Amino acid sequence: MSVIDGGLRFSHGVPMVTHDDIRDELLKRLAEKRVTGAGIAKLLGIPAPRVAEIKKGTRRIQQNEMPILAEFFGLGEIDSPSVDTNVVWVPVIGIAAAGSWREAIEVPAFLVPQIKRAGCNQAFAVQVDGDSMNQILPERSYAVVDPDQRELRNNRVYLIQNGGGETTIKRFCTEPARFEPVSSNPMHNVIHIGEHEITVIGRVVSFTSDEGL
């Protein structure tokens, strides 16, 4: 009986490497001082703090970075199973920083997976705080926001910001134009356009949650 190491995958006889293989090798070389964080950052074309986040486990090595590191370390081909091709990782930022999302995504708290969506290239996620949208967005779930979709459409959900810099998620409705909660809690109020200064940050395109698991 032959035994195959479950930690290895093969393609035409060539060992395939995974994200964790690459990260393990990176950590090993950093610990042995064979490479530096600054050097890896330059190789990948990313800010040095991102390498520190990979080391801490708060940032995954991105899909486009994996083959660069695998080749640099001489590890072999990247394992890219077809089941993973429709999954991307989006940065989670604090909802208080959503108004400055371009800066905030450079130092995300962590990443969450979502199904790849065509044209959704700058998406980020915020954690849903409160029950004002609990009929469609569970509290503590992560709402994925596309900042390229700011045109208001009836019955779509948006991340918005008021003149005081406070951010919230609400559903847009017409006749009259307003942002309204979708909640089992009747205490939440409708926001009428014209009564308040409102900036649309982006449309909520999906959410992810581990509630009940």
Output the DSSP codes for 84-129.
GTTEEEEEE--GGGGGGHHHHTTS-SEEEEEE--TT--S-EEEE--
DSSP state of 151: S
CATH 2.10.109.10 domain position(s) in the chain: 87-208
Across 157-175, average pLDDT: 92
Would you say domain 87-208 falls under CATH 2.10.109.10?
yes
Tell me which amino acid residue 49 is. P
User: Starting at the edge strand that comes first in sequence, how are the strands of the sheet with 14-17 ordered?
Assistant: 9-11, 14-17, 77-78
Q: What is the pLDDT of residue 156?
A: 97
Model confidence at 8: pLDDT above 50:
no
Residue 31, token pair as written in the block = 């610990």
CATH superfamily of 9-82: lambda repressor-like DNA-binding domains (1.10.260.40)
Helix pair angle (19-31, 48-56), 10° resolution: 110
CATH 1.10.260.40 domain position(s) in the chain: 9-82
Residue 104, token pair as written in the block = 């905030």
Beta strands 124-127 and 142-146, pairing class: antiparallel
With cut-offs at 50, 70 and 90, classify the pLDDT of residue 184. very high
Q: What is the rounded average pLDDT for all residues in the chain?
A: 80
Q: What is the pLDDT of residue 181?
A: 95
Across 81-91, average pLDDT: 61
Across 113-117, average pLDDT: 75
Closest to 56 (Cα-Cα) out of 77, 91, 78, 26: 26
Model confidence at 101: pLDDT above 70:
no
Instruction: Extract long-range pairs of 62-66: CB within 8 Å, 24+ residues apart.
Output: 62/89, 63/88, 66/19, 66/22
Q: How far is CA 192 from the centre of its chain?
A: 30
Model confidence at 197: pLDDT above 80:
yes
Share of the chain above pLDDT 70, in %: 78
Across 165-192, average pLDDT: 93
- Look at 16-25, 81-90, 132-141 and tell me which has the smallest mean pLDDT: 81-90
Across 182-186, average pLDDT: 93
